[in-house]
Amino acid sequence: MVIWLGYIHFHLWQSVGYRRIPTIGPLFLVQSVAGVVIGLVVMATRRVWAALLGAGFAVATLAGFLISVAYGLFDFKDSWSAPYAHLAFEIEIVSIVVLALAGVLCVVGSLPDRMSARP
């Protein structure tokens, strides 16, 4: 899911013209690279810290979009009618939920098995 977010940001940067927006353009490129790297780290390590990193990335992406829509960000105001706005929003929400659950499962899975400790 996080890699998908990175892809959407890259597509918006490359094909839709976000690269021409001062400050936002470079941030979209950084966001796309970070999304791919963080997504690969989450898949490769399957650790609590990686799930938290991925969820934090999705939260930050979501917050940036919502701030940009409501108030503007770096002299740019985004819109819900922007390309892929709804899709990215949905992926961010699902990413947060899935990665939070994955983090919980990692913690639960690392707890000692109490049943095997019984005499």
51 domain residue, yes or no: yes
**Enclosing domain of residue 35:** 2-111
DSSP state of 74: T
Q: Any residues with CB less than 8 A from the CB of 19 and at least 6 apart, and which? A: 13, 25, 28, 29
Given its phi and psi angles, is residue 23 left (phi above 0), alpha (psi -120 to 50 degrees) or beta?
left
DSSP-assigned states of every residue in the chain: -HHHHHHHHHHIIIIISGGGSTTHHHHHHHHHHHHHHHHHHHHHH--HHHHHHHHHHHHHHHHHHHHHHHT-BTTB---TTSTTHHHHHHHHHHHHHHHHHHHHHHHHHHS--TGGG--
- pLDDT values of the chain reduced to their tens digit, one per residue, 119 residues: 899 999 999 999 998 888 899 998 899 999 999 999 999 999 998 788 999 999 999 999 999 999 999 999 998 888 898 888 899 999 999 999 999 998 888 788 766 655 455 55
What are the tokens at 115? 């049943």
Q: Which amino acid is at 19?
A: R
pLDDT for res 108 = 81
50 domain residue, yes or no: yes
119 domain residue, yes or no: no
CA dihedral 20, 23, 25, 27 (to 10 degrees): 170
pTM of structure:
0.83
pLDDT for res 103 = 86
28 domain residue, yes or no: yes
Q: Report the number of distinct structural domains present in the chain.
A: 1
